[in-house]
């Protein structure tokens, strides 16, 4: 099986996925942000009797607070993150949302304690900035590390660039799908989304390096062989390992997604999308870029797009 010869189809598939993703990210709002980023309120409630999380969620949904994030703590206590609650006005006969929610929750079971506090989105903004800075620094470190680790093979710098390109490819796909789903079904981006995205970045780079390491071995063993032959051989040798690892993880993530709680849904959804994208990019994008670069296809494409000056005819 010649995987390398199908690289243009892989590029086309990635383009078909990335173009709508990038367009959706350009159209505001890019992402449907949760209360961790926009600010809101927190409710700490303790019931006198055992209560199911699903009953609380159904109650809040009826009160038009489907965005609420519910976390169970010790005993019959629950911590709820919700959009900012409307204040009441006794003079105008307007009841505060706090009172409405408290009355609705008391229908489920008697309440011994209920505390409401306002939260700010400033901390979340700092988290986003720090995550972006960490991503840039990690990308530079990965580029230098791979360039140094693969210094025994020709053009080792290309391996680092290809790995970073695959990483950006996976991040854009995850962001784009969440952007599209946010516009269609109001899928929120919360703090767990950032955690999942950083997890996927690590997985994607690791899977890419495993494939690159086999390419390095084959290039060292057969230095006279054309690069595309060595890359295709390496892909066939690592394909089984990559697919088995990814399928095992996918089954676990799917099980947790179907059976797990609402609070980790975004984290698991990021893992699900990222696992598929990371496995695909390691085999079908990063490795293929090495071949396209070696054959001059990237330079020709960039010249056609006028991103590079056209070579002067002798």
If you count them, how many residues does the chain have?
314
Residue 175 has pLDDT above 90, yes or no: yes
What is the distance of C-alpha 1 from the center of its chain? 31
* pLDDT bucket at 314, cuts 50 / 70 / 90: very low
Higher pLDDT: 147 or 135? It is 147
Cα distance between residue 175 and residue 194, in whole Å: 10
Q: Are 216 and 152 in contact (CB under 8 A)?
A: yes
Q: Are strands 188-189 and 32-33 parallel, antiparallel or unpaired?
A: parallel
DSSP state of 44: E
Domain boundaries, the chain: 4-33+123-304, 40-119
HSE at residue 135, side-chain half, CA atoms within 13 A, is 19
Among 55-64, 110-119, 171-180, 295-304, the minimum mean pLDDT is found in 295-304
The string of pLDDT tens digits covering residues 253-266 is 888 888 876 667 88
pLDDT over threshold 70, residue 306: no
Given a contact cutoff of 8 angstroms between Cβ atoms, the answer to whether 45 and 77 are in contact is: yes
Higher confidence at residue 136 or residue 172?
172
Does residue 90 have a pLDDT over 60?
no
pLDDT over 70 (residue 88): no
Distance (Å, whole) CA 199 – CA 135: 11
Mind listing the pLDDT tens digit for each residue in 177-218? Answer: 999 998 888 788 877 888 888 888 888 888 898 899 999 999
Share of the chain above pLDDT 70, in %: 90
- What distance in Å separates the CA atoms of residue 210 and residue 200, rounded to the nearest whole number? 15
pLDDT at position 129 is 76
pLDDT digits (tens, 9 = 90+) for 109-131: 888 888 888 766 655 567 677 77
CB atoms under 10 Å from CB of 21, counted, come to 19
Number of other residues whose CB lies within 10 A of the CB of residue 80:
21
Above 60 in pLDDT, residue 229? Answer: yes
In this predicted structure, the answer to whether residue 271 has a pLDDT above a threshold of 60 is yes
| Class of domain 40-119 as given by CATH | alpha beta
How confident is residue 141, by pLDDT bands cut at 50, 70 and 90? confident
CATH of region 4-33+123-304: 1.20.1640.10
């Amino acid at each position: 099986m010649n995987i390398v010869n199908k690289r243009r189809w892989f590029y086309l598939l990635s383009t078909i996925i990335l173009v709508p993703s990038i367009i959706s990210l350009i159209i505001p709002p890019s992402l449907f942000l949760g209360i961790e980023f926009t600010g809101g309120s927190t409710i700490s409630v303790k019931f006198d009797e055992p209560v199911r999380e699903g009953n609380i969620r159904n109650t809040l949904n009826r009160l038009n607070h489907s965005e609420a994030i519910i976390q169970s703590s010790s005993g019959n206590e629950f911590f709820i993150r919700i959009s900012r609650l409307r204040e009441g006005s006794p003079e105008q006969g307007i009841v505060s949302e706090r009172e409405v929610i408290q009355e609705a929750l008391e229908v489920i079971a008697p309440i011994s304690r209920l505390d409401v506090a306002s939260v700010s989105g400033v901390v979340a903004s700092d988290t986003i900035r720090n995550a972006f800075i960490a991503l840039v620094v990690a990308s530079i470190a990965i580029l230098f590390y791979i360039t140094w680790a693969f210094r025994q093979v020709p053009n080792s710098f290309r391996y680092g660039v290809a790995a970073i390109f695959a990483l950006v490819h996976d991040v854009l796909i995850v962001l784009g799908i969440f952007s599209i789903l946010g516009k269609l079904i109001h899928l929120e981006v919360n703090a767990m989304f950032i955690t999942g995205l950083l997890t996927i970045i690590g997985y994607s780079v690791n899977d890419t390096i495993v494939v690159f390491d086999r390419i390095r071995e084959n290039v060292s063993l057969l230095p006279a062989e054309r690069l595309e032959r060595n890359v295709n051989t390496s892909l066939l040798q690592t394909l089984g390992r990559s697919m088995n690892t990814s399928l095992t993880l996918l089954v676990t993530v799917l099980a947790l997604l179907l059976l797990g709680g609402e609070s980790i849904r975004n984290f698991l959804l990021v893992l699900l999308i990222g696992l598929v994208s990371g496995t695909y990019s390691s085999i079908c994008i990063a490795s293929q870029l090495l071949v396209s670069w070696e054959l001059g296809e990237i330079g020709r494409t960039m010249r056609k797009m006028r991103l590079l000056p056209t070579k002067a005819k002798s």
